[in-house]
């Protein structure tokens, strides 16, 4: 039986770290997937700022589960070395924050490109990232994201099989739905045994609007039920609600893409709280 433990992109509650901590405490969330701090992306904060954040989290008994970095969110044809320098900086920050995981991606692929022809270049770029992370004892965790090489179930499996335990798998149901991939049973049957953790975000296929967990076509209740059968021990679920527009949203997407946010709530805080309540409701029924 799985012991589901909650994590969150708390920058969707507030861009300010003090308010993020408040939102986590109010909702009983113990882990932070840290993405934006006081309006600055986690990959761009200073080491001193990371120490300040660590002290604040320690005072409240909270921990960073993963660095919600943008590593790998560049065009496959962009120069790689500056991005590797950014990875080296994120690793330094991760160590300050006592975190051994970095969320990352497998490069944006041009819309008119032959994806298969870019496979070797993608794998070479990922290899360079992994070489850096491996030496530092840091785990790179690949998230399926629309428009990157690993945006389909098969591509994610291909990356995992190519690198084995050197790379870890994050399963994001809404992102798969946005790529016309079936999350369950197909997606989970292919990737379930490899999951490091999961992002909780759901989408309604009929109009591609992001909705609370369990109200869309991501099959989150079914997937969590399967995880509950498979896993004996802790399993982390990171809430990534996307139920209201928040600072930094535009910077998360491939140029030209726009996630359809319903904005059915009066504030970011209300949207975040509803997201937590929806997930807890699903867990309580398992």
- pLDDT tens digits for range 171-228: 999 999 999 999 999 999 999 999 999 999 999 999 999 999 999 999 999 999 999 9
- Residue 218: which residues within 8 A CB-CB, separation 6 or more? 173, 174, 176, 177, 183, 201, 202, 203
- Which DSSP category does 240 fall into? -
Quote the percentage of the chain above a pLDDT of 90: 89
- Beta-bridged to residue 141, according to DSSP, are 103, 168
The per-residue pLDDT for 16 is 98
Number of CB atoms found within 10 A of residue 43's CB = 20
- Say if residue 166's pLDDT is above 80: yes
pTM equals: 0.94
- Say if residue 135's pLDDT is above 80: yes
Name the residue ranges covered by the structural domains of the chain.
2-285
Confidence category of residue 96, pLDDT binned at 50, 70, 90: very high
Q: Are 76 and 151 in contact (CB under 8 A)?
A: no
Cα 233 to its chain centre, rounded Å, is 21
Reply yes or no on domain 2-285 having CATH 3.20.20.150.
yes
The per-residue pLDDT for 242 is 84
């Amino acid at each position: 039986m799985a012991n589901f433990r909650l994590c969150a992109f708390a920058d969707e509650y507030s861009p300010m770290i003090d308010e993020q901590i408040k939102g986590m405490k109010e909702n009983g969330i113990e882990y932070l997937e840290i993405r934006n701090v006081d309006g600055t992306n986690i990959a761009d904060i200073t080491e001193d700022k990371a120490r300040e954040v660590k002290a604040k989290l320690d005072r409240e008994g909270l921990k960073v589960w993963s660095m919600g970095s943008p590593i790998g969110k560049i065009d496959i044809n962009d120069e790689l070395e500056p991005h590797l320098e950014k990875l080296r900086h994120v690793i330094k920050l991760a160590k300050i924050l006592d975190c051994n995981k970095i969320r990352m991606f497998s490069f944006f692929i041009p819309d008119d490109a032959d994806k298969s022809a870019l496979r070797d270049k993608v794998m070479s770029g990922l290899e360079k990232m992994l070489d850096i992370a491996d030496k530092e004892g840091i785990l790179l965790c690949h998230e399926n994201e629309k428009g990157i090489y690993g945006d389909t179930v098969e591509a994610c499996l291909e990356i995992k099989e190519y690198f084995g335990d050197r790379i870890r798998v994050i399963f994001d149901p809404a992102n798969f739905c946005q790529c016309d991939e079936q999350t369950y049973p197909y997606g989970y049957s292919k990737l379930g045994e490899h999951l490091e953790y999961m992002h909780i975000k759901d989408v309604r296929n009929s109009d591609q609007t992001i909705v609370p967990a369990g109200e869309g076509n991501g099959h989150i209740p079914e997937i969590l039920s399967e995880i509950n059968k498979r896993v004996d021990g802790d399993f982390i679920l990171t809430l990534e609600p996307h139920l209201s527009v928040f600072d930094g949203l535009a910077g998360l997407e491939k140029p030209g893409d726009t996630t359809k946010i319903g904005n059915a709530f009066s504030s970011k805080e209300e949207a975040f709280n509803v997201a937590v309540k929806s997930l807890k409701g699903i867990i309580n029924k398992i």
